[in-house]
Amino acid sequence: MRAFARALARNLAAGLRVALFLPVRRLAFRIDLRQLLALFVVSALVDVAADAMRYGDGAAFSWRGLGNEIYSGGILILASALIALLNRDRALVHAIPVIALSAFPVLQLANGLPWQELGVPDAWTGVVDDVVLAWILVVLVRIVHVALEYRRGMRAVRALAGGVVLAVPIFLSSAIMTLEPWFAPPARDAPDSRYPSPASEPVLSEQMRILDEALDAIEDGRPGVTDLYFAGFAGDANEPAYRADVEAARHAMDERGGAAGRSIVLLNDRRTLLTDPIASLTHLRDTLDEFAAAMDPDEDIAMVYLAAPSRRNGELDVRMPPLELVPISAAGVRSAFDDAGIRYRVVVVSACNAGAFADELADDDTAVIVASDAASSSAGCGVEAGATAFGRAFFEDGMGKGASLAQAFEVARDRVAAHDPAMHPRMHVGTGIAARLAELGRPGGAQRQAALPAARHG
């Protein structure tokens, strides 16, 4: 038994050298059926542990997922047999699986690491995943290269071809066997029983009434006065900070921007299902249509504040499980404004990768402010306790204290720069909207904004 354990330890040590590209020979491995079975068990256990590490505390376990490990082992044996057949070397049937299973544990652990929890910024997690994938592919080629130590003719070419033979079925297996031992259960599997389901018929019916009443309460614009209409959009029901941020922004714009009676919030939060309309593209379009009907298109301004998690392509995720809501894109926001016939627009986006909104929406009659451009993303433009970092600084510490749009942007930019310089907020203010903002609240003067020149920041 001790000899068996020593041989297993020796194989794992040699496999680590393969994975780390350290010098190693085929003779360093003890190749027999007992070692093959033992290494398969070790690899399966490490893979299960890596899955548990990847999905964290909220993961669920399924015994059926262990079938994935058996399937993967069979695929490895089959691919090794094919390589042995192509190279006319029967010994490779056992040698390749032993070397591969010896090298796999460190690769499995690296592939399962929760990089975000280890402090890797969101923008870099995809890059890290790609690096790990490339590492695995190169190691597969090296595994065959080591196994072919005694085949001198065209060894490098044979190793490259063998690596491809190993890689294709291994990576395809993840698409065929989708159930892993540990997995993240869908949100709908664990609904919060304290609140009604967004998909229930009573809630859907009530939502129609809630939206109608909220829109009916929007006041008409005052003739000869530049009025502000405000719509806040909190897109993620899984993160209450977005709701808190949007509600704080509405309060600031009601108190300091003169939007009282002309503001609305669209909230994705189970706690507000029976009091406020949910945040969706349809509800946003309905809101802008109502704004257009109430406002004077030649003098009034419509402001939309979007607070939601972003995707890599720059779209904003809209989440209210189990409802399937479409994401918000820059083109979708422009279309909603255009279809409503609203001329003067202010759009503030508190999200990562939001530069697409600045690029798409910027024109003479539009002001666009984004927390982070498309080239940068980090934890700083995500959520914090109570509010998003950028949104809180812009509305509560800027607009809420009487600052102009440009001044509020400077406050928010300075605040997040101290926290994360990579966020790179941007602002565009067209000449037409700048003139309208300078007239905001006139002639009453109580809500009058400081004059704002056309500007570009970032």
- Residues 128-146: pLDDT tens digits? 888 988 999 999 999 999 9
329, 315 in Cβ contact below 8 A? Answer: yes
Rounded to the nearest 10°, the torsion over CA 405, 406, 407, 411 is 100
Angle between helix axes 155-176 and 66-87 (nearest 10 degrees) is 150
- Residue from 349, 360, 329, 396 nearest 233 by CA: 349
Question: If you average pLDDT over residues 377-397, what whole number do you get?
Answer: 62
- Assess whether pLDDT exceeds 50 at residue 423: yes
List, for residues 289-343, the tens digit of each pLDDT value.
Answer: 999 999 999 999 999 999 999 888 889 999 999 999 999 999 999 999 999 999 9
Question: If you average pLDDT over residues 356-383, what whole number do you get?
Answer: 77
46, 106 in Cβ contact below 8 A? Answer: no
Question: If you average pLDDT over residues 45-54, what whole number do you get?
Answer: 78
**Residue 360 region, left (φ>0) first, then alpha (ψ -120 to 50), else beta?**
alpha
CA distances from 51 to 11, 37, 57, 336 (A): 23, 21, 11, 42
CA distances from 352 to 207, 284, 458 (A): 29, 21, 15
- Residue from 398, 436, 442, 404 nearest 301 by CA: 436
- Assess whether pLDDT exceeds 70 at residue 44: yes
Band of residue 92 on the pLDDT scale cut at 50, 70, 90: very high
Neighbours of 57 (CB within 10 A): 5
* pLDDT confidence of residue 447: 43
Sheet of 263-267, strand order: 263-267, 228-234, 301-307, 344-350, 366-370, 426-429, 455-457
- Assess whether pLDDT exceeds 80 at residue 179: no
- Phi, psi of 198, rounded to the nearest 5 degrees: -60, -25
Cβ-proximal residues to 369 (8 Å cutoff; 6+ apart), any chain: 346, 347, 348, 349, 394, 405, 409, 425, 426, 427
- Assess whether pLDDT exceeds 80 at residue 378: no
Amino acid symbol at 140:
L
Amino acid symbol at 370:
V
SS3 state of residue 106:
helix
* pLDDT confidence of residue 95: 94
Structure tokens at 251: 């309060």
Q: CA-to-CA distance for 135 and 133, rounded, in angstroms?
A: 5
Structure tokens at 60: 């669920």
Tell me the residue length of the chain.
458
Question: If you average pLDDT over residues 392-396, what whole number do you get?
Answer: 87
Amino acid symbol at 380:
G
* pLDDT confidence of residue 314: 84
215, 295 in Cβ contact below 8 A? Answer: no
Indicate the DSSP class of residue 319: B
Band of residue 216 on the pLDDT scale cut at 50, 70, 90: very high
Band of residue 108 on the pLDDT scale cut at 50, 70, 90: confident
Q: CA-to-CA distance for 186 and 59, rounded, in angstroms?
A: 10
* pLDDT confidence of residue 452: 40
Q: What percent of the chain has pLDDT over 90?
A: 53
- Assess whether pLDDT exceeds 60 at residue 160: yes
Least confident of 23-27, 58-62, 238-242, 401-405: 58-62
What count of Cα atoms within 13 Å lies in the side-chain half-sphere of residue 397? Answer: 16
Strands 182-183 and 60-61, by their bridges, are antiparallel
Indicate the DSSP class of residue 159: H
**Domains along the chain with CATH numbers:** 2-185 (no CATH), 201-452 (3.40.50.1460)
* pLDDT confidence of residue 81: 94
Average pLDDT, the chain: 84
Strands 366-370 and 426-429, by their bridges, are antiparallel
* pLDDT confidence of residue 153: 81
Structure tokens at 282: 């349809």
* pLDDT confidence of residue 393: 86
Strands 344-350 and 60-61, by their bridges, are unpaired
Indicate the DSSP class of residue 278: -
Q: What percent of the chain has pLDDT over 70?
A: 83
Cis check: omega of the bond before 223, within 30 degrees of 0? no
Cβ-proximal residues to 219 (8 Å cutoff; 6+ apart), any chain: 261, 262, 294
* pLDDT confidence of residue 240: 87
* pLDDT confidence of residue 56: 63
Residue with tokens 């539009």: 366
